[in-house]
Structure 1
Amino acid sequence: MSSMQSYLVGGAVRDSLLGLPQSDRDWVVIGADPAAMLAAGFVAVGQDFPVFLHPKTHEEYALARTERKTAPGYRGFAFHAAPEVTLEQDLGRRDLTINAMAQAADGQIIDPYGGQRDLADKVLRHVSPAFAEDPVRILRLARFAARFADFSIAEETTALMREMVAAGEVDALVAERVWQEISRGLMEAKPSRMIEVLRDCGALARLCPALDRLFGVPQPPAHHPEIDTGLHVLMVLDHAAQDLAPLPVRYAALCHDLGKGLTAPELLPRHIGHEGQSAKLAKQLSERWRVPNDCKELADLVAREHTHVHQSQSFGAEARLRLLERCDAWRRPERFEQMLWACECDARGRLGFEDRPYPQRERLLADLSQLLALDLSAVSAQALAEGKSGPAIGRAVQQARLAALLALG
């Protein structure tokens, strides 16, 4: 028992050195086995390898371990945890040098792989060639690039990731792990960096070919001074992040123009019909990644309707009512509000358009507010009193809604 030592490891050490607030604190234990941990009052929770909860703090303590690749993909690993495994060996199996540091009880930093140097130089670098054994690490690095947007990626790390993609490692990733990392990356400060990193190493073409295909696809410069469709999507995504938008809005931003890779005429890149193609591709991507329903539904709605929302300032009351009906706005008002948020990000995610007003959002929210305030039970009762039934009552409700929008002007 006297030889058992615990060290704070990973992200908590990194964030402390960066002066950032620590989130989850993870610990590694050297010189112990499961029996010793249980005897000390720890509670076992790990299924694949020995992880324990501290009896008082409930923080996670893992026995130091090594791992060995046994099959393709991220699941093909055998773990070895034993008292003789050293701290340096445990840190050596981690992904990036900035995540491969430990802190002793006296505050001393144990840094066998140069993590402090890479923090100072703002470099994301793999710890060892073992990085290539786990394709999830490509996604994790891309996510960290979105979080630490001013960090560069070591050339040898990019080269290694390209080799992994070429070897088919990314194709072995399961949907749940892809979405877990992508969704976390979308919620970082600069999610466009994640997409850029994945594209640069070739992983984006494997994970989301429809998105990868957008880069180099032109758009009319009058509406899109940035011209390149892929660049526009990244700008929309970053605008959503700047607005602190929730995950469904950011995912919808990612998917809203996927169809433009299939609709660009050679001479006039107006992308007629891209909305339907975008909705189809967004649905396919959502199924492929097993995206949660709130994200899936909003991406579909934004892909289908964003052009109509942009044009809605010129709509009369009838056209606005049809738009609200298609969006199921009065039954799903929160989703409708998120759709308008994503559309505003789309409008502002263009070169020179970042601060332009977007009155469409306020106008359509006012329309919805007016409709939600209607006493439709009174409308239905009046229709019944007039001897109407079924579809006739529905038409009376629709006429009441139209009259309310006409009153707004």
Structure 2
Amino acid sequence: MKTFLVGGAVRDKLLNYPVKEKDWVVIGETPDSMIKKGFRPVGKDFPVFLHPQSGEEYALARTERKTAPGYKGFAVHASPDVSLEQDLMRRDLTINAIAMTPQGEIIDPYGGKNDIENRIFRHVSPAFAEDPVRILRVARFAARYSHLGFTLAMETRTLMQHMVAAGEVDHLVPERVWAELFKALNEKSPSAFFYTLKDCSALEKIFPEINDLFGVPQPEKYHPEIDTGVHVMLCLEQAAALSSSPEVRFAALMHDLGKALSPKEHWPHHYGHEKNGLPILERLCSRLRVPNAFKSLAMLVMRHHTHCHRAFELRASTLTDMLTALGAFKPSNNTLDYFLLACAADAKGRINHENNPYPQADYIKGAAKAAASVDTSAILKSDLQGAQIGEAIRRLRIKAVAEFMAVE
């Protein structure tokens, strides 16, 4: 039984990157022979097995043939006569088409080791163009490795542009788009995901709401970067620096969608963009089937980020109502912390503002603490009913916030 370590494990070993999981390819075996050796079959579309001891995945060497548009339109051929080189050829990038023997010998028929050394993403063969998910995967690899200096080979960028023009990305299903976006949000440089898609014209097809922000100006006094699309990418990078939470990063990415709707005669100002963006965000989340935890935080950040930046100017009632909307008075709720991180990312996501402090966060936390500490027992024991109870508690909290503001 010939087995070879393949894919991401080999790539990351060569990059001195932590290896998260190991995938193996098996040459010269059949499903029956694998089962006889104690391997457990798990693959639906092609023969994949789990090792009886390690639990690692072992796949029979296979080739693929395009049969229909989209990423599911493939006929898979797995048999003992498929060679290692044939199996590696069907992979997306040369850096993912390297194999290693159990003894550590590198087998590299397509120059992946050289591309790792030169920090280049390059497609293995023209068959790359048959699977639109590969565009998203390349963008995600950019989010993971761009800080190491990786760039996209010109011929691969050109091929991706041709795929977009041919309508291949139109066949991407929402679940797969969200799955790749979610992974990209968890990487070191998530903005590289979107810049890579933009460079091959896929951004306007897959994430038109984000693409629409590029070229929309903002006041240079507050936004030296001027372009809203650039600002949002800077915000995303700041969110990645401030928090490992993908929800925070998603909220920072989405917060200014409403600026795409601002009438050109009002540029560079964006009156009411906080409210105008909510339907856009709603549609995007619906289309991509975004989990509710991501959507709800993004909605709150979009609606209230301007108030957060102006916290020191707010009336006690406005600040209290914002805290209520953020669930600041609910037990064990991290929404306020996430909200403040996303707003800080917005404030810092501007050229020459990256290292500015964001004192609004501690101020708002102080106000929340003051409001949460009020004694509501007398109200709860009183004769007040329904909405009257809520209003009485609100007044108590406003009073506490006002007293906090007076001291501050």
TM over 0.5: yes
* 1:357 maps onto 2:323 in alignment: no
Q: Secondary structure at the match of 2:75?
A: strand
> What's 1:57 paired with?
54
Distance 1:31 1:157 in 2: 32
> What's 1:336 paired with?
336
Identity %: 51
> What's 1:33 paired with?
30
The 5-angstrom pairing of residues 208-357 of structure 1 reads: 208-266=207-265, 268-331=267-330, 333-357=333-357
CA contact (8 A) 2:217 2:267 kept: no
Amino acid at match of 2:29: A
* 1:97 maps onto 2:94 in alignment: yes
| Alignment deviations for residues 60-119 of structure 1 (CA, whole Å, 9 cap, x no partner) | 000000011111111111111100000000000000000000000121101000000100
Amino acid at match of 1:178: V
> What's 1:403 paired with?
399
CA contact (8 A) 1:51 1:60 kept: yes
The 5-angstrom pairing of residues 114-263 of structure 1 reads: 114-149=111-146, 150-263=149-262
CA contact (8 A) 1:72 1:172 kept: yes
CA contact (8 A) 1:210 1:259 kept: no
Measured after TM superposition, the shift of residue 248 of structure 1 is 0.6
Measured after TM superposition, the shift of residue 372 of structure 1 is 2.6
CA contact (8 A) 1:73 1:134 kept: yes
Measured after TM superposition, the shift of residue 340 of structure 1 is 1.2
Distance 2:304 2:387 in 1: 27
Distance 1:258 1:268 in 2: 15
Distance 2:2 2:396 in 1: 73
Q: Secondary structure at the match of 1:148?
A: helix
Amino acid at match of 2:77: H
CA contact (8 A) 2:235 2:348 kept: yes
Gaps of 5+ in 1: none
Gaps of 5+ in 2: none
Distance 1:328 1:21 in 2: 38
Distance 2:401 2:243 in 1: 31
Measured after TM superposition, the shift of residue 390 of structure 1 is 3.0
CA contact (8 A) 2:372 2:397 kept: no
| Alignment deviations for residues 256-293 of structure 1 (CA, whole Å, 9 cap, x no partner) | 11111111534641110111122221111111111111
Amino acid at match of 1:151: F
Would you say how many aligned residue pairs link Structure 1 and Structure 2? 402
| Alignment deviations for residues 129-184 of structure 1 (CA, whole Å, 9 cap, x no partner) | 01001000000000101111111111110000001001111010001110111111
Amino acid at match of 1:306: H
Amino acid at match of 1:210: E
CA contact (8 A) 1:176 1:290 kept: yes
RMSD over aligned Cα atoms = 1.3
Q: Which of 368, 390, 397 is 1:394 aligned to?
A: 390
CA contact (8 A) 1:165 1:203 kept: yes
Structure 1 stretch 84-93 or stretch 181-190: which is displaced more? 181-190
Amino acid at match of 1:153: L
Amino acid at match of 2:248: V
Q: Secondary structure at the match of 1:52?
A: strand
CA contact (8 A) 1:380 1:396 kept: no
CA contact (8 A) 2:251 2:302 kept: yes
TM-score when normalising by structure 1: 0.96
Measured after TM superposition, the shift of residue 328 of structure 1 is 3.3
Measured after TM superposition, the shift of residue 188 of structure 1 is 1.1
Q: Secondary structure at the match of 1:62?
A: strand
Measured after TM superposition, the shift of residue 24 of structure 1 is 0.7
Q: Secondary structure at the match of 2:355?
A: coil
Q: Which of 15, 18, 27 is 1:21 aligned to?
A: 18
The 1:67–1:218 alpha-carbon spacing in structure 2 relative to 1, beyond 3 Å, is same
CA contact (8 A) 2:307 2:314 kept: no
CA contact (8 A) 1:25 1:60 kept: yes
Q: Secondary structure at the match of 2:198?
A: helix
Q: Secondary structure at the match of 1:330?
A: coil
CA contact (8 A) 1:218 1:264 kept: no
Distance 2:385 2:178 in 1: 48
CA contact (8 A) 1:257 1:275 kept: yes
Distance 2:227 2:263 in 1: 12
Measured after TM superposition, the shift of residue 222 of structure 1 is 0.8
